Chains A and B, each alone.
Chain A
Amino acid sequence: MKKIMFLIMIAGLLMAFTSCSKSEEAASTPAAPEQTAADDPYAEVRGKVVTMAGPFTDNDAIKFEQSIKSFEEETGIDIQYEGSKEFEASISIRVEGGNPPDIVDFPQPGLLETFAGKGYVIDLNKVLDMDKVRSNYIQSWLDMATMDSPDGPIMAGVWGRVNGKSLVWYNKKAFDEAGYEVPETWEELVELQNTILADGDSPWAVGIESGAATGWPATDWVEEMMLRTTSLENYDRWVAGELKFDSPEVRKAIQTMADIWFADGMVHGGRRSIATTSFGDAPKVMFEDPPKAWLHKQGNFITSFFPDNLTAGEDYDFFYLPSVDPQYGRPVLVAGDIYAMFDDRPEVRMVMQYFATGASVEGWVRAGGAISPHKDSDLSWYSNIVDRKVAEVIQNATSVRFDGSDLMPGAVGAGSFWKEMTAYVSGSKSLDAALKAIDASWPN
């Protein structure tokens, strides 16, 4: 009997505790609106958390945090960005598992398109002030953000940072000292390669290792060559899956790349080292003393991976990868991050609206390594000459095309295209076998 009493007492205490904290809860709830000052437009969202996931790590993550800091301070919204090198894989787990972050930062619109097609993505036409968004981008960016969903076409995201990819980086000081000249045409580039070879060095630094994403820099090269050796129509058909990989056009593009990559002494470390060198480490050999390689083709984000104490425009610079065949003009390959919304709350809307303004990347643009696609951004933000030149290259392009592998279905663009190119480059597969395997992997 005593024991029962004891139990009942415990239960009673627990109940008291429960109701006590409940009443506290009740008391504190009405208190919140009282704190609202009339002049604080962000009272509703102050202290709220917006979660994000994306591929920014290391330097990229720091620069992103810096550029959104002022927004966070002004509105009181806490944007928690979770960057992962395994982003492509992990985001599918979270979205399919019904546990997506509020905003996802996709470097590959193709992956976003898959989610939009399954109906996971919120249509921004319905939740944002679209007049502001529309007036802040040129049409081609808006077109690239419009995707199919089960309810028809939706505005699936807004573009944040963009990259120009058709750039060849070089160690400016050593380059000038050696008396090399920036090539304007393909012939001049070939001549420069031969000069460097004759001087006993390797012209190119290439690396395609990137953990689970190994192979993507190779697909960039193929895309560059596609834009330079065949028509834009063919490029678009290729990206859409209408032009096969096993076609004369694609073969010609890959051959143009292979002529550089596999030639004796042309790439630092030789063919097999391309597959074992990380894309971020590859350019570093250009800045050793003396430089071990001279040229490196990569998007403008790569400056984040350069050694720390270098000054843009003085220690390093870039030139536009010349067109191979003049009849195809001056095409520029671009890429970018598109932010998509997976949960509709007032604070998430506010962050999304903010991402559609130049202010959201201003800090990053100033810190270097990002180009703003927004119309309301200012050229004076570009603190270094290199970034301004990248922005100019994109403006001067006769045509702009988005990174093709990012637009292809995930099974190809983040799968077989990467893997088969890696197999081909490392020498474990013939070009024939690799191309056939990519074609076979294209989802019906």
Chain B
Amino acid sequence: MLEDLKPSWRYVALTVLLALTAFILFGGFLLLQNLQNAKVLMTFFAVVWGLGSVALLYFVLNQIAQSMPRRIRSVAVALVFAGPAVAFLLWALVLPTLRSLALSFMDAAGRDFVFFKNYKFAFTDPIMLESFRNNLLWIVFGTSACVTLGLVISVLADKSRFEKVIKSLIFMPMAISFVGAGVIWKFIYAYKGEGVNVAEIGLLNAIVTAFGGEPQAWLLVPFWNNFFLIVIMVWLQTGYAMVIISAAIKGIPESINEAARVDGAGPVRIFFNITIPSIMPTIVTVTTTILIFSLKLFDIVRVMTGGNYGTNVIANEFYLQQFTYNNSGRASAIAIILLVVIVPVLIYNLKQFRARSVLK
């Protein structure tokens, strides 16, 4: 719209606009600082000013970029629109990561350099080793159970009369937060003890005793208690796997299935030779997403056992080191290790995702 103006006028108008934008940005900030006592007004103003001024800023910067010489115009436009996001990413993601990296070589208070002492702790301490083992259990059994169940359910429910009902039921736990799920499952695993005058209230113990078994303190059973916790994640996450995989299955052209049937392939053959190869990219994406999820798993363990009884995981130990034991060195080392483990999976996941988008 400024293109109609003569170049000299255009520059003047742009400069004025730029100055005005700066003034609105800064003035609004000052005003906000002084509005602390009127909360409603402050909120209203913050929304209007916040959105408005950012829109204005983009508009003005875009005008400036557009007025650049043709050769650098596209670069300038890209810089204007992607620049702030990249800058924010640097500030909020890259800088903290670098700081964590630096802290991981420091002592508990972050003052003295201790070389690899924190990493030595992370790879030798019995609790850390236990956490690594448990995370491995989560990755292997949690992820495979989620994906397998999700796949099986979506195939079996596909085109069935009750498909909608079944899928809704499986998907429903997705709406529950991990902490909420923890509370629910605490009642399922509840154990009140043995001996005189004890009445069990837990669902699982009720089932076990109904079949004549002994009530168990499920969350205290060494090693297997990890699986009782993993079941909670499977309960929560199978719905996610199912929905994505089911969508992919419905995307397989009917003609392929038809052709297979004409060639004499049975349902099992179709499942392994047609369905699975067709939705492989989806399965990989779902698997890696849940895998990353189980690597940084925290809430369930925190709520159910607090990491006691041999159920600790890396993320919980990180939290304890940082916020309970006040040891930022060890905590940072654990965080860096977690990052190093997750990044390859993340990259693979992104690559798969991109490949899938290209296909479509």
Binding site for B on A (CB under 8 A): 1, 3-4, 7, 11, 14-15, 18, 21-22, 25, 88-90, 92-93, 96, 114, 118, 200-202, 211-215, 265, 268-270, 272-273, 275-277, 285, 292-293, 410-411, 414-415, 419, 422-423, 426-428, 437, 443
Q: Which residues of B contact A277 (CB under 8 A)?
A: 192-193
A11 touches B20 (CB 8 A): yes
B325 touches A273 (CB 8 A): no
What are 30 A-B pairs at a CB distance below 8 A? A3-B1, A7-B17, A11-B24, A18-B31, A21-B31, A88-B323, A89-B319, A200-B196, A212-B306, A265-B196, A268-B196, A268-B198, A270-B194, A272-B193, A272-B220, A273-B192, A273-B194, A273-B198, A276-B217, A292-B197, A292-B198, A414-B324, A415-B324, A423-B308, A423-B310, A426-B308, A428-B220, A428-B222, A428-B309, A443-B327
Min CB gap B9→A, angstroms: 10
Min CB gap A273→B, angstroms: 3
From A25, A293, A426, contact of B309 by CB (8 A): A426
Min CB gap A97→B, angstroms: 11
Chain A proximity mask over B179-210: 1 for CB below 8 Å, otherwise 0: 00000000000111111111000000000000
In angstroms, Cα B78 to Cα A226, docked, is 69
In angstroms, Cα B4 to Cα A22, docked, is 37
Q: Which residue of A lies closest to B53 (CB)?
A: A14
In angstroms, Cα B222 to Cα A426, docked, is 10
B307 interface hit (Cβ, 8 Å)? yes
From B28, B31, B196, B310, contact of A201 by CB (8 A): B196
Q: Which residue of A lies closest to B186 (CB)?
A: A276
From B27, B126, B196, B326, contact of A92 by CB (8 A): B326
Binding site for A on B (CB under 8 A): 1-2, 4-5, 13, 17, 20, 23-24, 27-28, 31, 34-35, 52, 108-109, 126, 190-198, 217, 219-220, 222, 302-303, 306-310, 319-320, 322-328
Given A202-B195, A410-B326, do A212 and B310 touch, yes or no (CB 8 Å)? no
A272 touches B191 (CB 8 A): yes
From B17, B194, B220, B324, contact of A426 by CB (8 A): B220
Min CB gap A441→B, angstroms: 8
From B24, B194, B196, B307, contact of A14 by CB (8 A): B24
A276 touches B219 (CB 8 A): yes
A268 touches B197 (CB 8 A): yes
Min CB gap B89→A, angstroms: 20
Min CB gap A404→B, angstroms: 17
**Which of B198, B310, B324 has the most CB atoms of chain A within a 10 A radius of its CB?**
B324
A275 touches B326 (CB 8 A): no
B220 touches A276 (CB 8 A): yes
Q: Which residues of A contact B324 (CB under 8 A)?
A: 88-89, 92, 212, 410-411, 414-415
Q: Which residues of A contact B219 (CB under 8 A)?
A: 276
Q: Which residues of A contact B52 (CB under 8 A)?
A: 14
B220 touches A275 (CB 8 A): yes
Given A4-B1, A14-B24, do A423 and B309 touch, yes or no (CB 8 Å)? yes
Q: Which residue of B lies closest to A288 (CB)?
A: B197
Q: Which residues of B contact A415 (CB under 8 A)?
A: 320, 324-325
Q: Which residues of A contact B108 (CB under 8 A)?
A: 443
Min CB gap B50→A, angstroms: 13
B308 touches A1 (CB 8 A): no
B326 touches A411 (CB 8 A): yes
Q: Which residues of B contact A88 (CB under 8 A)?
A: 323-324
Min CB gap A27→B, angstroms: 12
Q: Which residues of A contact B323 (CB under 8 A)?
A: 88-90, 92-93
A268 touches B195 (CB 8 A): yes
In angstroms, Cα B195 to Cα A270, docked, is 7
Q: Which residues of A contact B308 (CB under 8 A)?
A: 214-215, 275, 419, 422-423, 426, 428
Min CB gap B334→A, angstroms: 14
Given A201-B196, A202-B197, A411-B325, do A273 and B217 touch, yes or no (CB 8 Å)? yes
In angstroms, Cα B322 to Cα A270, docked, is 35
**Which of A200, A202, A426, A443 has the most CB atoms of chain B within a 10 A radius of its CB?**
A426
A18 touches B27 (CB 8 A): yes
19 new A-B contacts at CB < 8 Å, known A25-B34, A213-B306: A4-B13, A11-B20, A18-B27, A92-B324, A201-B197, A211-B303, A214-B306, A268-B196, A269-B195, A272-B193, A272-B220, A273-B192, A273-B194, A273-B198, A275-B220, A276-B220, A419-B308, A427-B220, A428-B222
A202 touches B190 (CB 8 A): no
A265 touches B195 (CB 8 A): yes
Min CB gap B109→A, angstroms: 7
Closest 6 CB pairs of A and B: A269-B193, A273-B193, A411-B325, A292-B197, A272-B217, A89-B323
B24 touches A411 (CB 8 A): no
Q: Which residues of B contact A3 (CB under 8 A)?
A: 1
Q: Which residue of A lies closest to B305 (CB)?
A: A214
In angstroms, Cα B34 to Cα A411, docked, is 42
In angstroms, Cα B324 to Cα A114, docked, is 11
Min CB gap B113→A, angstroms: 16
In angstroms, Cα B16 to Cα A4, docked, is 11
Q: Which residues of B contact A265 (CB under 8 A)?
A: 195-196
Min CB gap B322→A, angstroms: 8
Q: Which residues of B contact A202 (CB under 8 A)?
A: 195-197
Q: Which residue of A lies closest to B310 (CB)?
A: A428
Min CB gap B18→A, angstroms: 12
Given A7-B17, A25-B34, do A276 and B197 touch, yes or no (CB 8 Å)? no
Given A4-B1, A15-B23, do A270 and B193 touch, yes or no (CB 8 Å)? yes
Q: Which residues of A contact B13 (CB under 8 A)?
A: 4
Q: Which residues of B contact A422 (CB under 8 A)?
A: 308-309
Min CB gap A30→B, angstroms: 14
Given A1-B4, A268-B195, A273-B193, do A211 and B306 touch, yes or no (CB 8 Å)? yes
Given A211-B306, A427-B220, do A411 and B327 touch, yes or no (CB 8 Å)? yes
Q: Which residue of A lies closest to B2 (CB)?
A: A4
In angstroms, Cα B323 to Cα A25, docked, is 41
In angstroms, Cα B195 to Cα A321, docked, is 25
Min CB gap A373→B, angstroms: 27
Min CB gap A153→B, angstroms: 19
Q: Which residue of A lies closest to B195 (CB)?
A: A270
Min CB gap B13→A, angstroms: 6
In angstroms, Cα B46 to Cα A14, docked, is 13
Q: Which residues of A contact B194 (CB under 8 A)?
A: 269-270, 272-273
Q: Which residue of B lies closest to A210 (CB)?
A: B306
**Which of A3, A7, A265 has the most CB atoms of chain B within a 10 A radius of its CB?**
A7
Q: Which residues of B contact A201 (CB under 8 A)?
A: 196-197
In angstroms, Cα B327 to Cα A380, docked, is 46
Given A11-B24, A15-B23, A276-B191, do A114 and B326 touch, yes or no (CB 8 Å)? yes
